[in-house]
Amino acid sequence: MNATPQKPRDDAALAEARAIIELCIQGSEANDRDDLIRKLTTVRTALARHPGPATVRDSATECIRALESLKIDLRTRRTTLSDPGRAARLRAELDRARNHFEDFQTRSREWPQLLGEGFSAMSSDAEFALRTRARQVIAEGEDSIDANDPKKNSEAFDAWLRHRLAIEADEVYGLLLERSRRVATQLGEQLDSPPPRIESIPVTAPDRLVGELQARQVSGGGNPPAGARMLGVLMPTYGGVMMAIVLSRFLGLNMPGWVIAVCAVVGAVGLGGAALSGERKRQLDRRRGDAKSTLRGTIDEYQLAMSKQIRDAGRLLQGDLRKAATAVVNTRASEFTDQLDAAREAADTARNASADLSDISDDLEAVSELQARARRLIDNPPEGRNERILKTVS
């Protein structure tokens, strides 16, 4: 008999609980309280599944707790907005954020020029070092050629030359790495960010680069045919014999035959030996000249290969640093923009502090009313409801 009159009262309590939960969720959303939203959503689900008096009281209790947390947030916000020095601090923060953003914009316009100039200087220094070291190798190589017979030590000289060129190439590569890291450091300082890391440079290994140089055979001196060499020695010998005989006859000297023969032999040996020694000297000088020409040709080929390595490495490294710098500029610009927007929004909030304080007062009053409704729902569930939505948005 009592169940029928009690039914409308239970329905009213259930509707009131649902209304309070929805209003609490709206207030939590307005104040960005995701934790309260999750709890109240769970309460709403439980009330929908088990719409009984006990669930209504539990829902009302949870709403009271959530409203108390929102009341603390609103009071804290009111205290913050009531601070007399807050507006000045926010304006100073806005000016500082604007100055940082403008300074970054200025620096971000200058980094491409810094990057280009840095790599131009790097390439110039590397080319200068390459040519300077190549001249040193040529000087040392020519000294070695002048001190030895290229025909006898050509293999040892070629091994020394390639080893020395590999060492010089490694030194030039080290210069490229050091200068490229210096450019990266300058780029990081310009953009106020950690410099891009450069672990290595994209070049061919020195041993492989030198090993790919075309092998050049040192000429053996261009020796003439054996007949020509013999003629070159016999003609001075014959001249020495003829001079001894003709000279004695021309001067009318009456010398014994054996004296004339001795003079002829001495003249032949002297002139023939001088001719033979001169021929050997000419052959050695010719071999040394050919060896020096071969040395210079090898060095020229080496410089061409190294110049290409320097240009290719500079282009690739510059492209990598350009990509890294662009990414940094985009990221930093986004960060500065967000900071400036946040500072501007805070400054705007300070200017509208009076209106916000009025809204907070209204919201605190609404929270108190909702708490009172929730307590009445626990003590004596009502049949009606009176809705009011929180207005404050953090």
**pLDDT (tens digit, 9 = 90+) per residue, 108-121?**
788 888 899 999 99
The one-character DSSP state at 20 is H
Confidence of residue 392 (pLDDT cuts 50, 70, 90): very low
Q: What is the mean pLDDT of the chain?
A: 77
CB 20 within 8 A of CB 63: yes
CB-based contact 361:82 (threshold 8 Å)? no
Q: What's the confidence (pLDDT) of residue 239?
A: 54
Determine the pLDDT at residue 394.
39
**Whether the predicted pLDDT of 267 surpasses 70:** no
The string of pLDDT tens digits covering residues 222-265 is 555 544 444 454 455 545 555 555 555 555 555 555 545 555 55
d(CA 295, CA 218): 9
Q: Could you tell me the CA-to-CA distances from 33 to 26, 69, 74, 147, 237 in Å, in that order?
A: 10, 10, 12, 90, 119
Length of the chain: 394
Burial letters 222-242, b for 16+ CB under 10 A, else e? eeeeeeeeeebbeebbeebbe
Confidence (pLDDT) at 353: 56
Residue of 37 and 215 predicted with greater confidence: 37
Helix axes 353-379, 3-30, angle to 10 degrees: 160
Backbone dihedral region of 281: left (phi > 0), alpha (psi from -120 to 50 degrees) or beta? Answer: alpha
Per the CB < 8 A criterion, the answer to whether 348 and 340 are in contact is: no
Tell me the per-residue pLDDT of 310-352, one tens digit each, with 9 for 90 and over.
999 999 999 999 999 888 888 888 887 777 777 777 666 666 6
Task: Give the other-Cβ count within 10 Å of 376's Cβ.
Answer: 14
Average pLDDT over residues 80-102: 69
pLDDT of 24 reads 87
Q: What is the pTM of this model?
A: 0.56
Between the alpha carbon of residue 56 and those of residues 49, 162, 209, 387, the distances in Å are: 11, 92, 85, 17
Q: Which of 70, 188, 66, 138 is nearest to 300 (CA)?
A: 138
Q: Which pLDDT value is given to residue 250? A: 55
What are the pLDDT digits (tens) for 8-60? 556 788 888 888 888 888 888 888 888 888 888 888 888 888 888 888 888 88
Query: Alpha carbon of 285 to those of 154, 334, 353, 358, 373: distances in Å?
Result: 15, 73, 99, 106, 117
Contact call for residues 53 and 379 (beta carbons, < 8 A): no
Q: Could you tell me if 260 and 240 are in contact, meaning their C-beta atoms sit under 8 angstroms apart?
A: no
For residue 99, the Cα-to-chain-centroid distance in whole angstroms is: 28
pLDDT > 70: percent of the chain: 70
pLDDT confidence of residue 383 = 47
